[in-house]
Amino acid sequence: MRKFVPDDSDSNINIYSNWKPGLRVLVNGGAGFLGSHLSERLLQAGHEVICLDDFSTGRLTNIEHLMSNSRLTVMEHDVRHPYDLDVSIIFNFASPASPPDYQRDPVGTLLTNVIGALNVLELARRTGATVVQSSTSEVYGDPHINPQPESYFGNVNPIGPRACYDEGKRSAETLFFDYHRSFGVDIKVGRIFNTYGPRMRRDDGRVVSNFIVQALQNQDITIYGDGKQTRSFCYVDDLIEGFLRFAVKSPDCCGPINIGNPAEIPVRQLADIVIAMTNSKSRVVHLPAAVDDPQQRRPDISRARQELKWQPRVNLERGLEKTIRYFDALLSSEKVVEAV
């Protein structure tokens, strides 16, 4: 198997294209929202992609347009169980990521993140592969400082209903850095902030998909809490570009690095924007606040700018326009199926 050789050139926007085509790349969670976009970009660059997914939250429809590509292999597997593949680079994106999904099976979520991290690190240790971990802004919990730099240790409730995900990702980071220090595994840890775009599930429970689907159907837009809590939304193409840039950096660049959009907006303002962009007749209703819901979420991306020469390029309105178009088409197709 050809050894992955990083290229630290910073001049090319699509820096990952400096990899020589033909690398064998494993994408855990490759049929999920983010994993499918990542798999698509890797195939476009001429690489061989193994899409590994247990399809608990990932969907074949996310990758069906890629299935005719002979360089794509789809493998149904649960990362909590060991596996052995000969690959040059691994992207570990396998985990439920929305609160309804990860709270549905909290024990399974924790094990997916911890045992899944252990198994992927053991694979990287055996093969010498570079392994890129999708961590999360949830490691910061309900932060006491804003924006959140990578040096901030966070404010996480370890026994709350969100802890299965928050602490699962924090524990995974511990494993990644211990494997790096103890065994020399080449790791990259990126902390993902709220990301949105096409291929989100309409029922995944995240705020952007909830608001858009509700607005398109003229239903009440539901906000948990007073709506003053803030989020920073990164369009999926920008997020994937950040991870691809990170992956090609030399082994001494291992993170953690925040990858997200620093443009902060109150949730209530997002609802008003979506209503206006969809010409919806929806009204906003408030429900009780979710337990341990962070009141602020904004990344400090100084490290990403400096080390990856990366920053988001798609503004919120443009990203929402693309996402609304996707959900409008999805809902329209569902109506056609129901009518048949």
Mean pLDDT by 10 residues, the chain (340 residues): 39 49 93 98 96 96 97 97 96 91 92 97 97 97 96 96 95 98 98 97 93 97 95 97 95 97 96 97 94 92 97 97 97 66
Q: What type of residue sits at position 316?
A: L
Q: Which residue, among 91, 112, 101, has the nearest Cα to 40 in the 3D structure? A: 91
The identity of residue 202, as a single letter, is R
Torsion of Cα atoms, 153 then 154 then 158 then 163, to 10°: -120
Determine the 3-state secondary structure of 339 from DSSP.
helix
Positive or negative, the Cα torsion across 320, 322, 326, 328? positive
Give the dihedral sign, CA 24/115/299/256: negative
User: How far is residue 65's CA from residue 59's CA, in Å, rounded to a whole number?
Assistant: 12
Check residue 18 and give its pLDDT.
54
> Before 147, cis peptide (omega within 30)?
yes
Spatial contact of 117 and 79, defined as CB atoms under 8 Å apart = no
pLDDT of residue 338: 54
Give catalytic residues, as residue numbers. Answer: 165
> Three-state DSSP class for 334?
helix
Q: Looking at the chain, how many residues does it have? A: 340
Q: Cβ(277)–Cβ(321) under 8 Å?
A: yes
pLDDT of residue 19: 65
**Which among 266, 277, 255, 256 has a CA at the least distance from the CA of 324?**
277
Q: Is 105 exposed, middle or buried (CB count within 10 Å of its CB: 0-12, 13-18, 19+)?
A: middle
Question: For position 263, what pLDDT does the model report?
Answer: 96
DSSP 215-235: HHTTPPEEEESSS--EEE-EE
- DSSP structure string for 121-155: HHHHHHHT-EEEEEEEGGGGBS-SSSSB-TT---B
**195 close to 34: Cβ distance less than 8 angstroms:** yes
The burial of 17, by beta-carbon neighbours within 10 Å (0-12 exposed, 13-18 middle, 19 or more buried), is given as middle
- Three-state DSSP at 48 gives strand
Domain 23-196+235-262+296-313: CATH architecture, name and number where available: 3-Layer(aba) Sandwich (3.40)
Q: Has this prediction a pTM greater than 0.85?
A: yes
Domain ranges of the chain: 23-196+235-262+296-313
Instruction: Please give the Cα distance from 224 to 110 (Å, whole number).
Output: 25
What is the structure's pLDDT at 5?
41
